[in-house]
Amino acid sequence: MALMTGEQYIESIRKMHMQVYMFGKKVESPVDDPILRPSLNSVRMTYDLAQKPEYQDLMTATSNLTGKRVNRFTNIHQSTEDLVKKVKMQRLLGQQTAACFQRCVGMDAFNAVYSTTYEIDQKYGTTYHENFKKFAAYVQENDLTVDGAMTDPKGDRSRAPHAQEDPDLFLRVVERRPDGIVVRGAKAHQTGALNSHEIIIMPTISMGPEDKDYAVSFAVPMDAEGIFMIIGRQSCDTRKLEGSELDVGNAEFGGVEALVVFEDVFVPNDRIFLCGETEFAGMMVERFAGYHRQSYGGCKVGVGDVLIGAAAVAADYNGCAKASHIKDKLIEMTHLNETLYCCGIACSAEGHPTASGNYLIDLLLANVCKQNVTRFPYEIARLAEDIAGGVVVTAPAEADLKDPKLGPYVEKYFKAAPGVSVENRFRILRLIENLTLGTAAVGYRTESLHGAGSPQAQRIMIARQGNLPMKKELAKKIAHVKE
């Protein structure tokens, strides 16, 4: 089939029979739930923009598997140009949604699993790579959204998977059958699982021989028997139930996270990409993490563009846009945001082909990119809140603004620059609140810290990739040190 439209995507998710729970109750129609729908709208933009001629070069690519034009979120990177376009696409979508558009994890899993399965097959003569290529072609042909799932609950972090008190705290194989495997466990913090057609499972850490049952990668439909989701809470999420677009801040778009539980789920043989080859678990983890840390140099920058714009509008509305310290803060926000983008572009431009032929980013620069993302968005958010003023968290509700008795007082005492309506001022303030404190924090501020691994995870990779021995030799050569 051709690339799906946004509306076709919405209807395809509606037809699925996912088991979704929120606030202790089953959600009968997730597509129509007012708390969940904004996250679906964000994914829809990845389909709508792909239909527009002016964005075709960024949003689509030519498949190396079928030769057909596919959505870039299902593409296997074939060059450094593909890697650069990926980052530019993510910035565009961040600008268009000011939220998490959720398909990056699937795209990054695609490319990590593609190259890793090739190398497993080369060593063991398995058919994982062919399995994955067939799955990838199916996803491309049907223009599906895929969730990439790596993070296990982990339990006691000091213990390996096999040594946990509860063996299900890392997803594992509990039965091997002639026609496939049965798995049990969970994947936590799953961005966009609710809005995906399929889910790719990957191991979450490097593993030893004792962890053979945990070294597993596969793909299943999100509505496969035995899978259910428990939706994570977000600040201000129930504001969406109140009927006020103004109070939400970003009423159309959002993100969503879930705990995805696998209660004895069957996986057929042709959907298995890793099963017991423990020495390749670390490779898959490292490559996925690298790709996903590259992603943050695009998506978070696009959302940052919106937040910088909102701060600048707030300065206009407050009547202080010409103040030198305000100008300097906006310059600093822009400097930090563009530095993140530079890292995303740099690790892409310095990419190289893997043995399988698809392109991997420069892992050192990708980890530097994400390390910066754990810091800079916090400063950008702080400066936005500084410029906006305390009213960003003390402004009354829309109901007060529209109330016959209270409204005139709200209008009188929250008036700022001439010609600016209080409603418009509140709209910008609520957007800033949404991005820094509210439901979009999962797609910007807090996720910037923990998404794609915590700061220490990047520092470990930077230490590995930094090549200190080479740098020591450079210094000794220049200093004419003889040992």
Q: Kindly name the residue from 46, 47, 60, 104 that is annotated as catalytic.
A: 104
Q: Is 130 a catalytic residue?
A: no
Q: Kindly name the residue from 60, 117, 278, 299 that is annotated as catalytic.
A: 299
Q: Kindly name the residue from 292, 354, 369, 444 that is annotated as catalytic.
A: 292
Question: What's the CA gap between 292 and 360, in Å, rounded?
Answer: 11
Contact indicator for 245, 251 with CB cutoff of 8 Å: yes
Q: Is 210 a catalytic residue?
A: no
Q: Is 292 a catalytic residue?
A: yes
Q: Is 5 a catalytic residue?
A: no
| Amino acid letter, residue 235 | S
Q: Is 347 a catalytic residue?
A: no
Q: Kindly name the residue from 74, 126, 197, 257 that is annotated as catalytic.
A: 257
Question: What's the CA gap between 464 and 364, in Å, rounded?
Answer: 8
Q: Kindly name the residue from 9, 291, 296, 341 that is annotated as catalytic.
A: 296
Q: Kindly name the residue from 60, 126, 151, 191 that is annotated as catalytic.
A: 191
End-to-end CA distance of the chain: 66
Question: What's the CA gap between 167 and 164, in Å, rounded?
Answer: 6
Backbone torsion region of residue 218, taken as left when φ is above 0, otherwise alpha when ψ lies between -120 and 50, otherwise beta: beta
Q: Kindly name the residue from 60, 100, 119, 433 that is annotated as catalytic.
A: 100
Q: Is 191 a catalytic residue?
A: yes
Tokens of 298: 């695009």
Q: Is 278 a catalytic residue?
A: no
**Half-sphere exposure for 463 (CA within 13 Å, toward CB):** 6
Tokens of 280: 């390749």
Please give the full DSSP string across 202-260, using - where no structure is assigned. Answer: --SS---GGGGGG-EEEEEETT-TTEEEEEPP-TTGGGGGTT-HHHHSSSS-----EEE
Q: Kindly name the residue from 198, 398, 433, 447 that is annotated as catalytic.
A: 447
Contact indicator for 83, 287 with CB cutoff of 8 Å: no
Q: Is 100 a catalytic residue?
A: yes
Provide the annotated active-site residues.
100, 104, 191, 257, 292, 296, 299, 447
